[in-house]
Amino acid sequence: MHKDEEVEIRGWLFNKRSSGKIQFLIVRDGTGFVQCVVSKGDVDDRVFSLCEELDYEDAVIVRGKVVEDKRAIGGYEIHVKDLRLHSKIIETYPIPKVRPENIPDVGKLFQYRHLWIRSRKQWAILRIRSEIEKAIVDFFEGRGFVRFDPPIFTPASVEGTTTLFEVPYFDENKVYLTQSGQLYMEAGAMALGKVYSFGPTFRAEKSKTRRHLTEFWMIEPEVAWADLNDIMDLAEDLIVYIVERVLERRKFELETLERDISKLENVKKPFPRITYDEAARILEEEKGKGAQIDFVYGEDFGGDEETIISEKFDKPVMITRYPKDIKPFYMKIDPEDPSKVLCVDVIAPEGYGEIIGGSQREDDYETLLNRIKEEGLPVEIYDWYLDLRKFGSVPHSGFGLGLERTVAWITGIRHVREAIPFPRTIERFEP
């Protein structure tokens, strides 16, 4: 901060209050919020009168001296010498300026999402999201990974045929919006050794829960010569790196969100690692104590089940070796138990659910071919994918980290919809 220096800031009026001959203006400029003190004796009558007439989100240019004041936002304020109005709002601002999240009609807030992101809470969330994105890139680039961009249009399913968005594609062909770039990342790993992607993915899940979006961003590393334990270690290192980075660089934003950082400070290695069977036993014990869950052994865990499991731990928990029948065809069958696959789900604490799903990939040609046939999938569409097993197949593993769920957990927000600038859900595709 430029203490005792004269500065000029260009921004928007966020809030204001008056105390007789002194007016206090909160101005935001995108980088943060600052209190501007307008004293009647320090400015001419024109400026003081203009300040009295300002409305929320009027665009202003403020010039004044930076003064330290522990009571002010960020510990500094600007004593105003001059203020100019750049543009006046045309209509009354449509949403509350102070804690708009407290209004009962949340749907209205998303209707005005383009304006809601100006609030302090949303500002803080999106800055933390940006920091997480930068941390992820730094993590992989620092470990010698090559960024590898898979296609958005794909000819086939990766995560199940029921959640595909179909798109017309020239001359009566059809393609799908990608559910995951994983299959292509495997090709990248066979060429480049260690690769990662960072981009949007799409799931046509008809879910209305606070944990789901139809469009979200995923980070997908893939590593040649890596087994399940290797990729679990990588996932663990990545999560710890992200959390430490946010704690280091976005303390003010976390404070703005009133996040209990002690819970984040506890995210250290090693993470607990349990099997699907051990997790199932936890759920059965809780059912015996009266927990209202419908879990049946052999089924996948839903949100309620993941929450119950996560409550047993104070940091992310890794659950391995799920039943083969509930996991995708590309996961390697466990040689010690052919009914299971070598996979891992990472469940965030505090009830935020799965943030990472990964596995060792099936590297045997005949086994993979049979798995594709078992799923009733068209083999010809996966010919290129099978080629990876024909020509120099090696053990390889990878995972996908859901950015929005990770942001939601680290920021402590309730709804994943706030973790992305413009959320897409089953009910919302605008603004």
- Residue 100: pLDDT band (50, 70, 90) is low
Pairwise CA distance, residues 297 & 292, whole Å: 15
What mean pLDDT comes out for the span 139-162? Answer: 88
Give the separation between CA 157 and CA 204, rounded to whole angstroms: 12
Reduced to 3 states (helix: H, G, I; strand: E, B; else coil), residue 200 is: strand
238 contact partners, CB below 8 Å, separation of at least 6: 136, 139, 401
In contact, 256 and 120? CB cutoff 8 Å: yes
Mean pLDDT of the chain: 92
Q: Are 346 and 355 in contact (CB under 8 A)?
A: yes
Per-residue pLDDT tens over the stretch 245-282: 999 999 999 999 999 999 999 999 999 999 999 999 99
Report which of residues 69 and 205 the model is more confident about: 69
CA distance 254 to 413: 11
Per-residue pLDDT tens over the stretch 372-430: 999 888 899 999 999 999 999 999 999 999 999 999 999 999 889 999 999 998 888 88
Q: What is the pLDDT of residue 95?
A: 83
| pLDDT computed for residue 294 by the predictor | 87
Q: Is the pLDDT of residue 104 over 60?
A: no
Q: What pLDDT is attached to residue 99?
A: 61
pLDDT tens figures, 399-412: 999 999 999 999 99
* Complete domains list, the chain, with CATH: 6-87 (2.40.50.140), 114-419 (3.30.930.10)
Q: 378 with 334: CB under 8 angstroms?
A: no
Question: How much of the chain, in percent, has pLDDT values that exceed 90?
Answer: 77
Distance in angstroms (rounded) separating the CA atoms of residues 286 and 299: 17
pLDDT band with cut points at 50, 70 and 90 for residue 287: confident
Q: What is the pTM of this model?
A: 0.92
Alpha carbons 116 and 95: distance in angstroms, whole number: 8
Give me the count of residues in the chain.
431
Does the structure show a pLDDT above 80 at 159?
no
Q: What is the distance in angstroms between the CA of the first residue and the CA of the last residue of the chain?
A: 36
Q: What pLDDT, on a 0 to 100 scale, did the predictor assign at position 105? A: 64
